[in-house]
């Protein structure tokens, strides 16, 4: 169990946990399948956190965990509008690695 809390000491993960405090309880909740025991859950979460901390900037991860998420791009639409695409973490399923791609139509203010 201590391994889990040590893994959350990484500065990038500390910032994410500050934004979404329930992240620190992931090990105690059902994860992907109820058949996973403690060791399998810990290994899955450590693998995910290793990937996140190795490949994402801390500011990008913080944006994913905050509303409205990390803007990935904009596509131009008719009438001076744009389609905004964002990656954002949702607590809906509370599973590590589950994020959502959100899109919205945006019109610049005059």
Q: 72-93, pLDDT tens digit by residue?
A: 999 888 888 888 899 888 777 6
Contact (CB, 8 A) for 96 and 102: no
Sequence-distant (6+) residues with CB within 8 A of 88 are 64, 65, 66, 67, 68, 69, 70, 99, 100, 102
Query: Considering only 50-54, 62-66, 87-91, which range has the smallest mean pLDDT?
Result: 87-91
Q: Give residue-wise pLDDT tens across range 4-43.
A: 777 778 887 888 888 888 777 776 666 556 777 878 888 8
Q: How many domains does the chain have?
A: 1
**The two three-digit tokens of residue 90, written as one number:** 């949702």
Q: Which domain holds residue 94?
A: 2-106
Q: Which long-range contacts (CB under 8 A, 24 or more apart) does 30-38 make?
A: 31/95, 31/96, 32/95
User: For the whole prediction, is pTM greater than 0.95?
Assistant: no
Q: How high is the pLDDT of residue 70? A: 92
């Amino acid at each position: 169990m201590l391994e889990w809390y040590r893994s959350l000491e990484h500065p990038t993960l500390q910032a994410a946990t500050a934004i979404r405090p329930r992240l620190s309880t992931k090990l105690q909740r059902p994860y992907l399948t109820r058949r996973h025991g403690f060791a399998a859950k810990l290994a899955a979460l450590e693998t995910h956190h290793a990937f996140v901390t190795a490949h994402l900037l801390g500011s990008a991860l913080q944006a994913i965990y905050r509303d409205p998420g990390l803007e990935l791009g904009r596509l131009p639409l008719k009438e001076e509008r744009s389609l905004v695409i964002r990656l954002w973490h949702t607590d809906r399923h509370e599973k590590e690695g589950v994020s959502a791609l959100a899109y919205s139509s945006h019109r610049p203010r005059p």
